[in-house]
Amino acid sequence: MYPLDVVSVEKQRGQTQLVLVGTAPIKSNEEEVIGAVEIGILINNEFLKSLIAAKDEYLIVFNKDKTVVVSTLTSVTHRNWQLPPTSVPPMRILLTNKHYVAKSIFLPGLSNTSLTVVLLKSLADLNHTVQYLWLRLWGFFLVGCLICTLVGKNIARNISGPLLTVARVAQKATQEGNFDLQAPVTRNDEVGILATSLNSLIRRVAEYTQELEQARTTLEKRVEERTHQLLQKNQELNLAYDQLSYAIQELQQTQAQLIQTEKMSSLGNMVAGVAHEINNPISFIYGNISYAKEYIEQLLELLHLYKKEYPQPTAAIQTCLEKTELDYISEDLPKIFSSMKMGAQRIREIVLSLRNFSRLDESEKKAVNIHEGIDSTLLILNHRLKEGIQVIKEYEETLPLIECYPAQLNQVFLNLLSNAIDALEESFLSNLSSEDNKVNPQILIHTNKAAGNRIYVRITDNGCGIEPQNQDKIFDPFFTTKEVGKGTGLGLWICYQIIQKHQGKIEVNSLLGEGTTVTVTLPLVQKS
């Protein structure tokens, strides 16, 4: 039989079917080929069914363009689907919601034609068998579990029953403290030995408990006697501690006041010395600037006159004029002298403020203008006021002079203004870039004359304010809310002592988040 071929046959209705054609030779008695016979078989359902051995097997034939030609599985007759490759072993596929095992076989023809036959084997019976097997296994498993449970429960009842009785006796003895209980001994095995041991243990615990009770009674009596003695000693120690604490507090306050006074005195000496040393040379410089400016103007006028009278200078003079830029010097030199004069005047004002702040020549009581002391203090703190803090002065022009110790009052104003600046730095200057910060930091200084020959100085800031629980402690020595290293807690306490010495009064009003106002009231004349 020669190789097969596939031939397409067209019926009258336009349908095309395939015919599997085979050629067989016709030979003579001498084995010579004298002809050939062609045999064809129509590839249809009947032909495919004759090839199937079981009812759950199916054949599907595909032509060269991978479309279904004929199929014994009617649900895929007109369906285009991806057939399994011929080079792989049988594989499992899902077709019309059913599982099959598929194997592809490629049949080549002679006239450039080919067929692909796919054999499908349904897995429904296999799945049914697997499910039935699983049900049987689960049944055996449940029956085994039930048998094991019943047997285990019976064994546990026989073993745990006596043990539970012993456990109840032990639990009741420990919870109620009843050591007269005894566990029943009904067996000679390990459970009986355990019950006997428990009874022995309960008796020994009862004996030890009685001994401990006697020891506790004796110890309580001794502790009570010792406690009474310790209470007496403690009262004596508390009395001595209170006396010592009071003495130490008085000593610390006195020491702190002496240290602060010495510091302010040293600061005053230094400030006065610096002011004195600066005052002499700056007075010399300030006094000679006017003469120097006048002489320079005369020299410049003389140069311009030479230039006018001798318009054709020599080559050396012309070179020197171009090198020195005489026109620029003539225009810029008066400005330089004006700046020098303004700077010297500013230095003289600073020196005067330093001398007013130190007041070393006024250690006794003297009638002074309180505004001069405030302005001098602001000048000392000017380096801290350049961070956007606005100072508003509301001075009463007709404020009378007051009798006081000027250096001490300057110390009060220095402490109060420093605290106000600290509060503003904490509230505003750390958040200058914040869009919510719409209020400018400011310090308001207001002075006025009050009734009864008194004046008051009110310093207000719009900083963070003081918490209510701290407002009663601000004048206590060594009390501070600042970070470690930024405050000693003595500033306001010293202010309070100085104002008391001047027969005045200092008050603080603060709202958390809105600001603080410090009011200092002083008499014009102090009583003897």
C-alpha pair distances (Å), 88 with each of 76, 80, 92, 231? 22, 20, 11, 100
Burial 419-456 (b: 16+ CB within 10 A, else e): bbbbbbbebbeeeeeeeeeeeebbbbbbbeeeeeebbb
User: Helices 315-324 and 326-358 meet at what angle, rounded to 10?
Assistant: 40
- Tell me what pLDDT residue 433 has: 47
- Tell me what pLDDT residue 455 has: 93
- Tell me what pLDDT residue 395 has: 94
Q: How far is C-alpha 201 from the chain's CA centre?
A: 59
Identify the helix (H) or strand (E) that includes residue 445. Answer: strand 442-450
Going through 309-404 in order, the beta strands assigned E by DSSP cover: 366-368, 390-394, 402-404
The Cα 376–Cα 379 span in angstroms is: 5
Q: Where in the chain is the domain with CATH 3.30.565.10?
A: 362-528
Show Cβ contacts of residue 128 under 8 Å, excluding neighbours closer than 6 positions.
none
The Cα 192–Cα 188 span in angstroms is: 5
The Cα 472–Cα 466 span in angstroms is: 10
- Tell me what pLDDT residue 34 has: 82
The Cα 66–Cα 82 span in angstroms is: 8
- Tell me what pLDDT residue 361 has: 46
Longest CA span, the chain: 169
The answer to whether the beta carbons of residues 370 and 409 sit under 8 Å apart is yes
Give me the average pLDDT of each 10-residue run along the chain (528 residues): 60 64 79 80 76 77 77 67 77 79 79 78 80 89 88 73 70 69 68 73 78 86 88 88 83 68 61 68 76 81 80 79 76 79 73 59 75 86 79 92 86 88 79 58 92 90 86 75 64 83 90 90 85
- Tell me what pLDDT residue 393 has: 93
Name 505's bridge partners.
521
Q: How many CA atoms lie within 13 A of 293 on its CB side?
A: 17
User: Helices 406-427 and 370-380 meet at what angle, rounded to 10?
Assistant: 50
496 conformational bin, left if phi > 0, alpha if psi -120 to 50, beta if neither: alpha
The Cα 59–Cα 61 span in angstroms is: 7
CB atoms within 10 A of CB 163: 14
The answer to whether the beta carbons of residues 524 and 453 sit under 8 Å apart is yes
Look up the pTM and report it: 0.40
The label of the residue with tokens 């003695």 reads 229
The label of the residue with tokens 């199916």 reads 58
Name 429's bridge partners.
none
Q: Where in the chain is the domain with CATH 3.30.450?
A: 5-122
- Tell me what pLDDT residue 360 has: 46
**What size, in residues, is the chain?**
528
The label of the residue with tokens 């002499």 reads 280
Q: What's the CA angle centered on 266, arms 265 and 269, to 5 degrees?
A: 85
Name 366's bridge partners.
404
DSSP character for 453?
Answer: T
C-alpha pair distances (Å), 354 with each of 150, 376, 381, 394, 463? 105, 7, 11, 23, 28
The Cα 443–Cα 427 span in angstroms is: 13
The Cα 265–Cα 257 span in angstroms is: 12
What would the two tokens of residue 497 be? 């002592």
Please report, as a single letter, which amino acid is at residue 248: I
The Cα 107–Cα 507 span in angstroms is: 114
- Tell me what pLDDT residue 44 has: 74
User: Helices 326-358 and 190-309 meet at what angle, rounded to 10?
Assistant: 130
Fold entry, domain 5-122? Beta-Lactamase (3.30.450)
The label of the residue with tokens 């062609």 reads 38
Task: Assign domain 362-528 one CATH number from 3.30.565.10, 1.10.10.60, 3.30.2010.10, 3.80.10.10.
Answer: 3.30.565.10
